[in-house]
Amino acid sequence: MVRKPAKSHVKPDVKAASTRKPNMREAILAAAEELFSTYGFNAVSVRDIAQAAGANPGSVTYHFKTKDGLLLEIYRRHCGPMNRRRSELLAAARRVRDLQDRLEAIVRAYVLPAFTSGSDLAGGGTRFTRLRAIMSAEGNEVVRKIIAQTFDDTSHAFIDAIHESLPHIPRTDLVWRGHFLLGALYYTLVTPERVSRLSRGSADGTDAGHAIEELVRATVAALQAPPLDQPRKAAGASPGRALT
Amino acid sequence: MVRKPAKSHVKPDVKAASTRKPNMREAILAAAEELFSTYGFNAVSVRDIAQAAGANPGSVTYHFKTKDGLLLEIYRRHCGPMNRRRSELLAAARRVRDLQDRLEAIVRAYVLPAFTSGSDLAGGGTRFTRLRAIMSAEGNEVVRKIIAQTFDDTSHAFIDAIHESLPHIPRTDLVWRGHFLLGALYYTLVTPERVSRLSRGSADGTDAGHAIEELVRATVAALQAPPLDQPRKAAGASPGRALT
DNA sequence: TGAATATTTGGACGATAGTACAAATATGGT
DNA sequence: ACCATATTTGTACTATCGTCCAAATATTCA
């Protein structure tokens, strides 16, 4: 780990946060997830992970062979549950009658699992999404393939669902706006302090629920915006007209 | 550099892309900017930079003392011109009469310099913004201070200007939406291929101008959305009413 | 229990990291 | 041309990297 706020004297508490079973494999996995999602893949060494998990560096190699293998296993653990939950919520959202409510439900179905996805660890979804954000920024080659073949299907399903609710907007624009949504989501999880710093001393800003609501509200409005080939002015942006 | 697509047989052309003067300091700076913004700070070694610039590793130490110092100098080079250009465009945007047009001009004043900021190198703005995106994801400590004391002023100025155009929306919501804008902007520059992959084989997707227009359109709509403490339905989202 | 297996340990390997420094070379003013 | 200075070079230092491996230990099951 290149540089990190002084913490060499604190005990490794990542293991304690887990289920406390003497399952080293799980402890290593949890520690790696926490460290990767905080400092990035390149900045964290295998020895850092081992120490945080209370394990020997050799154990990491034993269980996961390589550092890349460790990262791969983390993704395998989360991608399944997260996409499954997204599919469930998306299916439920599709059944919403009111067009406005349906669009909002679709967006929520995409955002929610990123914060609360199914891991036995507390705050698991947030941590994994933060990890994905960092990995996409670092351009990690190992991850790029998993993303392409795991998340693109999900993304297509959501774009399709949105396109059904907003048929008058070209797919290209919806793809862009979905792209912006993902960027906003990532950035929100990567820099949790920035919002509270720009706001004038309001709440602590770490309220995930509030962040989700703000993100959903903004995204729904962005999706409903008139496409680029239409003039912005007049009543074009009014959902009342746009969704008729 | 940890892992990178095979390129060891190609000559270092970063220097050739610069002004070709035998100014090693500039060549090193350009090479570092290119490599950092592509692979991240931790993944690039001083030796990588030196080789790409056609210089000796010792020269890097001579000119910039440390690796952090090199990163710092890159920021010093760009922050000034970029924020100056933003201030100019913001001042011009404030003078726009029509409230709708003014809001769009303000957003454009924020986004444009991120793509075209003043560097003598071609495509300079895009590269530096990509660098900022990666740095914010990696949580680099050296950069965090610069960001806080350099960009927060600019951010406040823009939030204020937006608040003047949308006085009925609480500042907190506008801060969130500006935050989302920055995240969308970063993510767009970090993953330039993703949009074209999700679109169905349309244009090449690397058209910066189109990306800007999509981003501005979506952001303006998001900013105009009714705040969280108001119901979303009815005519609340209509700009015609909202801006009255 | 005892043997087979699974896991953990501690140390080692070569590679590469950031940085330092003396010697070599280029540069510019007089 | 000469000297003072600026820059480049080559090398070396220590630290840490990912990975490997044999020995020690823990676990499992007949």
- The verdict on a CB contact (< 8 Å) between B238 and A233 is no
Lowest mean pLDDT among A1-15, B155-169, B200-214: A1-15
Nucleotide closest in space to A62 (CA vs C1'): C7
**Domains in chain A, CATH or no CATH each:** 8-64 (1.10.10.60), 77-223 (1.10.357.10)
Of B5, B138, B232, nearest to A217 by CB-CB distance is: B232
- The verdict on a CB contact (< 8 Å) between B220 and A197 is no
| pLDDT tens string A175-232 | 999 999 999 999 999 986 766 666 654 444 457 789 999 999 999 999 999 999 877 7
Tell me what percent of the residues of chain A surpass a pLDDT of 70.
77
Q: Which residues of B touch A2 (CB under 8 A)?
A: 42
Mean local confidence (pLDDT), B70-79? 94
Q: Strand D-proximal residues, CB under 7 Å?
A: A 1, 22, 44-48, 57-58, 60-62, 65-68; B 22, 24-25, 55-59, 62-63
How does B78-88 read in b/e, with b if 16+ C-beta sit within 10 Å?
A: bbebbbebbbe
- Indicate if the pLDDT at residue B243 is higher than 50: no
Q: How far is B18 from chain A (nearest CA, A)?
A: 25
Between A17 and A156, residue with greater pLDDT:
A156
Q: What's the mean pLDDT when you consider all of chain A?
A: 83
Q: Report which residue is nearest nucleotide D26 when distances run from CA to C1'.
A: A22
Q: Specify which of B28-37, B125-134, B199-208 reaches the highest per-range mean pLDDT.
A: B28-37
| pLDDT tens string B139-197 | 888 898 888 888 888 999 999 999 999 999 999 999 999 999 999 999 999 986 766 66
Smallest Cα–Cα separation from B141: which of B41, B1, B63? Answer: B41
Rounded to whole angstroms, the distance from the CA of residue A35 to the C1' of nucleotide C9 is 23
Q: What is the separation, in whole angstroms, between the first and last Cα of chain B? A: 55
Mean local confidence (pLDDT), B202-206? 48
Between A243 and B85, residue with greater pLDDT:
B85
- The verdict on a CB contact (< 8 Å) between B40 and A38 is no
Query: Which A residues, 90 through 109, put their C-beta within 8 Å of a C-beta on chain B?
Result: 100, 104
- Check residue A65 and give its pLDDT: 97
Mean local confidence (pLDDT), B29-53? 96
Rounded to whole angstroms, the distance from the CA of residue A138 to the C1' of nucleotide D13 is 31
